[in-house]
Amino acid sequence: MSKFRRLGWLNRLALGLLGVLFVVLIGVFPSNSQEAQTLRVGTEPAFPPFEMKAETGELEGFDIDLMNAIGKEAGLKVEFLSLPFDGLIPALQANTIDAAISGMTITAERAQTIAFSRPYFKAGLALAVKEGNQEIKSFDDLKNKRIAVQIGTTGAGEAGKIEGAQVSQFDSAPLALQELANGRVDAVINDAPVTLYAIKQAQLQGIEVVGQLLTEEYFGIALPKNSPNIEKINGAIATLLENGTYNAIYEKWFGTAPPELPLAAPALEGATAQPFDYGKLFSNLLVGALVTLALTACSIFFGMIGGTLVAIALISPYTPLRWLCRAYVEFFRGTPMLVQIFMIYFGLPALLQGLGLNFNFERFPAAVLALSLNSAAYLAEIIRGGIQAVERGQWEASESLGMGSVETMRYVIFPQALRQMLPPLSNEFITLIKDTSLVAVIGFEELFRQGQLVVATTYRAFEVYAAVALVYLVLTSVSATGFRWLESYMNPLRKMSKAKA
Site residues, ligand ARG (CB under 6 A): 44, 47, 51, 85, 102-105, 150, 153-154, 173, 191
Task: Compute the distance between CA of residue 156 and CA of residue 455 in angstroms, rounded to an integer.
Answer: 13
- For the stretch 201-207, contacts whose Cβ atoms lie closer than 8 Å and that sit 24 or more positions apart, written own/partner, are 201/48, 201/49, 202/48, 202/174, 204/177, 204/178, 205/181, 206/130, 206/131, 206/181, 207/128, 207/129, 207/130, 207/131, 207/177, 207/180, 207/181
Give 217's contacts (C-beta < 8 A, 6+ positions apart).
105, 106, 122, 123, 124, 125, 154, 191, 267
Q: How far is the CB of 219 from ligand ARG (least distance, A)?
A: 6
- Least CB distance to ligand ARG at residue 261 (A): 15
- Pick 307 or 443: Cβ nearer ligand ARG: 443
Dist. CA 162–CA 426, nearest whole Å = 43
Cβ 105 to ligand ARG shortest distance, Å: 3
Q: How far is the CB of 161 from ligand ARG (least distance, A)?
A: 14
**What is the distance between the alpha carbons of residues 282 and 135, in angstroms, rounded to a whole number?**
37
CB of 101 to ligand ARG, least distance (A): 9
CA distance 291 to 289: 5
**Minimum gap (Å) between residue 107 Cβ and ligand ARG:** 7
Residue among 157, 451, 161 nearest 282 (CA): 451
- 82 vs 360, which CB is nearer to ligand ARG? 82
| Least CB distance to ligand ARG at residue 176 (A) | 10
CB-wise, 102 or 234, nearer to ligand ARG? 102
Select 47 or 253, whichever has its Cβ closest to ligand ARG. 47
Nearer to ligand ARG, 80 or 361 (CB): 80
First-to-last alpha carbon distance for the chain, in angstroms, is 65
What are the angstrom distances between the C-alpha of 451 and each of 128, 147, 268? Answer: 28, 20, 27
**Which C-beta is closer to ligand ARG: that of 178 or that of 299?**
178
Give whichever of 118 and 384 is closer to ligand ARG, judged by the CB atom.
118
